[in-house]
Amino acid sequence: MIAKILTFVFLCSRILYVAGDFYPRYHLAPPKGWMNDPNGFCIFKGEYHLFYQHNPYSSYGPGIVHWGHAVSRDLLHWKHLPVALDPDQWYDNGGVFSGSCLVDAGKMYLYYTGNVNHEKETPDHSQYQALATSENGYDVSKYEMNPVINGSEYQPDLRDPKVWKHGDKYYMVLGNSFKGQSNETLGRVLLWVSSDKINWEKASILLESDGELGYMFECPDFFELDGYWVLLFSPQGVKPQGDNYKNLFQTGYVVGRFDYKTNVFTPVFKFKELDHGHDLYATQSTLDRQGKRIVIAWMDMWDQNYPEQAEGFNGQMTIPRRLQLTKDGRIIQTPVKDILAARGRVLHTGRTRSDKVIRLDDKTAEIVIRSSPLRDFELLLEAENTTVKINYDRVRGLVTLDRGGKDGVRRTNWRPRGILVWKLYIDASSIELFCGEGEVTFSSRYFPVGPVKVRLGKASEAENMTVRSMKTTVDINPNNVNEPQE
């Protein structure tokens, strides 16, 4: 009998919660299977294209990874396309790893890393840089003379090409690891130059780890922003320090100056983490239609085994964000304006105290709050199985996001001048918090079962709190998938 009841409960919970309960409504996730790093982010013939690391066959890991592909007119309404790149060549048969898109002379040039595994050998893999092109943005073909960079001196970890054009030359940054003076493995970013997009030469080392920044730099991106140059990358092997570097791997940036004549990058400000939540990795930026720098990232982290895997998918992207730089070298992030198109109805607005409980529509919301800098503040998101607490300690100048469970707390300094502004984007299994003008952000996954309610903590008060629902802008029917091209 007990077994029968349990089976019944199990079946009910499956019916209620497993059919897409955690699948995002307005963030890009794979139609099925696994997603990690964003790749090939670009605007081409009037549409935004986003490729990504993808396993179409399983949600439990990248497998021998492919490139998934989605397209959007506005960075928010995404349409899934067939798998763009399969691991089917000698130089990528261990995975079509991350890379980027250069749009040049009306064509897409997709640079990526071909990974090759060597069983029972040391090192156990090699990584080549390869090229694929597309005339129409939909049909992609690999270059016949691949790889374009063999990189034999830099093996085994040489990956994630990000390519751009300047003048009549092409530039590529690559993540790499090398042996330090005491034979320790250290991360670095290499710069390569080409005059024909095919033949590449190493030009300089942009930045290398002194040990503090770990053993490998992944997904480097390098661009001008508000008068400086930003080297944005994902170092692996950075040790936790107080409230910093608490995730398995980090993403952050070094701001400095760069000279195209010498190819030398001179850091001006120290490495800073881009985000303070649990789940942000492997950023990739591009220029939007207005020529503004925008970035997207994998909103997940390695080795988490989140419960969405049982729903047949893993991983989602962040909301694309506009980047700006302050005079003291800090990145400010704000959701792209297109997010307004996903706004739904207003559920609540006005002066708010803790007795007000707002039940979200379909677990989604945009929440904008203004609160006094003279008092502490707390916001709670509650579901049947979880409570997320966000709070501000005005004496210590600390903002904390606690999603509960093991390692639930993420915290950082925030000392805004004047009123506290909180902007939150809640989706079926994610929270993005933008503090102030976007100078502090937290991006974290959470897995609420049942309806989600939001309210202020005891003794908290909002001068104004506006809660809106968010529309569905991605296909949430898990059966509605594009089969990978065979």
Residues with Cβ within 8 Å of 415's Cβ and at least 6 positions away in sequence, in order, are 397
Strands 430-435 and 343-348: unpaired
- DSSP assignment, residue 33? E
CB of 9 vs ligand NAG, minimal distance in Å? 12
d(CA 247, CA 243): 10
CA angle 454, 460, 466 (to 5 degrees): 45
Residues 199, 262, 266, 385: which binds ligand NAG (CB under 6 A)? 385
Q: Is 89 in the site for ligand NAG (CB under 6 A)?
A: no
Q: Is 404 in the site for ligand NAG (CB under 6 A)?
A: yes
Instruction: Identify which of residues 183 and 241 has a Cβ nearer to ligand NAG in the complex.
Output: 183
Nearest to 36 by CA among 17, 12, 60: 60
Instruction: Identify which of residues 7 and 136 has a Cβ nearer to ligand NAG in the complex.
Output: 7
Within 49-68, the residues that bind ligand NAG by CB under 6 A are none
Instruction: Identify which of residues 118 and 272 has a Cβ nearer to ligand NAG in the complex.
Output: 118
Instruction: Identify which of residues 307 and 416 has a Cβ nearer to ligand NAG in the complex.
Output: 307
Q: Is 181 in the site for ligand NAG (CB under 6 A)?
A: no
51 near 102, Cβ under 8 Å? no
Instruction: Identify which of residues 164 and 447 has a Cβ nearer to ligand NAG in the complex.
Output: 447
Residues 324, 354, 464, 485: which binds ligand NAG (CB under 6 A)? 464
309 near 23, Cβ under 8 Å? no
Burial of 333 (0-12, 13-18, 19+ CB in 10 A): buried
Nearest to 389 by CA among 437, 431, 352, 449: 431
Within 423-462, the residues that bind ligand NAG by CB under 6 A are 447, 449
Instruction: Identify which of residues 13 and 266 has a Cβ nearer to ligand NAG in the complex.
Output: 13
CB of 45 vs ligand NAG, minimal distance in Å? 34
Q: Transcribe 286-329 into DSSP letters.
A: EE-TTS-EEEEEESS-TT---GGGGGTEE--BPPPEEEEE-TTS
Residues 15, 46, 120, 183: which binds ligand NAG (CB under 6 A)? 183
CA distances from 85 to 132, 146, 151, 244, 464 (A): 9, 14, 22, 36, 48
Active site residue 355: no
Number of residues binding to ligand NAG, judged by CB under 6 A: 15
CB of 114 vs ligand NAG, minimal distance in Å? 10
Q: Record the tokens describing residue 228, joined without a space.
A: 């400086």
CB of 171 vs ligand NAG, minimal distance in Å? 22
* Per-position x/- string for 2-41, each x denoting binding to ligand NAG as judged by CB under 6 A, each - no binding: ----------------------------------------
Q: Is 418 in the site for ligand NAG (CB under 6 A)?
A: no
CB of 202 vs ligand NAG, minimal distance in Å? 13
Q: The dihedral of CA 82, 288, 365, 283: what is its sign?
A: positive
Instruction: Identify which of residues 333 and 429 has a Cβ nearer to ligand NAG in the complex.
Output: 429
76 near 338, Cβ under 8 Å? yes
CB of 404 vs ligand NAG, minimal distance in Å? 5
441 near 431, Cβ under 8 Å? no
Alpha helices in 148-225 (DSSP H): none
Within 333-352, the residues that bind ligand NAG by CB under 6 A are 349-350
d(CA 200, CA 29): 34
Within 122-161, the residues that bind ligand NAG by CB under 6 A are 150, 152
Amino acid letter, 332: I
CB of 463 vs ligand NAG, minimal distance in Å? 7
CA distances from 209 to 57, 219, 258, 273 (A): 36, 15, 18, 15
Instruction: Identify which of residues 331 and 435 has a Cβ nearer to ligand NAG in the complex.
Output: 435
Q: How far is CA 123 from the centre of its chain?
A: 29
Q: Is 386 in the site for ligand NAG (CB under 6 A)?
A: yes
Amino acid letter, 461: E
**Active-site hit among 37, 86, 300, 427:** 37
Within 269-328, the residues that bind ligand NAG by CB under 6 A are 307
CB of 304 vs ligand NAG, minimal distance in Å? 11
Instruction: Identify which of residues 1 and 145 has a Cβ nearer to ligand NAG in the complex.
Output: 145
Q: Record the tokens describing residue 436, joined without a space.
A: 């102030």
Residues 405, 417, 418, 486: which binds ligand NAG (CB under 6 A)? 405
Amino acid letter, 254: V
CB of 473 vs ligand NAG, minimal distance in Å? 21
First to last CA, the chain: 48
Nearest to 423 by CA among 339, 351, 345: 339
Active site residues: 37
Query: Where along the sequence are the contacts to ligand NAG (CB under 6 A)?
Result: 150, 152, 183, 307, 349-350, 368, 385-386, 404-405, 447, 449, 464, 466
